[in-house]
Amino acid sequence: MQLSGQTRRIACAAMAMALAAITQGCLLTRLLTMPMRVGGAVLTIVPCAGDAAHEGIDAAAKALDDIPL
């Protein structure tokens, strides 16, 4: 089934709005902070400085989680 140009644009706009609704708020901040948290967890392997770096990255990720979106 072929869609006309206008129908295709409407379908794309509807999909974009659905994606925006799904990735709003909490989910969006979780997607942003997950790599930060994983990086901080990996840094804990480093002796001495690893725990301090992890705490700093975790605090920054928590601050991003608290942003009201």
Q: What domain range includes position 29?
A: 24-69
In a domain, 29, yes or no: yes
In a domain, 63, yes or no: yes
The two structure tokens encoding residue 3: 């869609």
Between CA 9 and CA 14 the distance in angstroms is 9
Cα 3 versus chain centre, distance:
33
Q: Which of 23, 45, 41 lies closest to 32, judged by CA?
A: 23
Q: How confident is the model at residue 26 (pLDDT cuts 50, 70, 90)?
A: low
- Taking only the tens place, the pLDDT of each residue in 27-51 is 667 777 888 888 888 888 877 777 7
> What is the count of structural domains for the chain?
1
Residues 6+ apart with CB under 8 A from 50: 43, 44
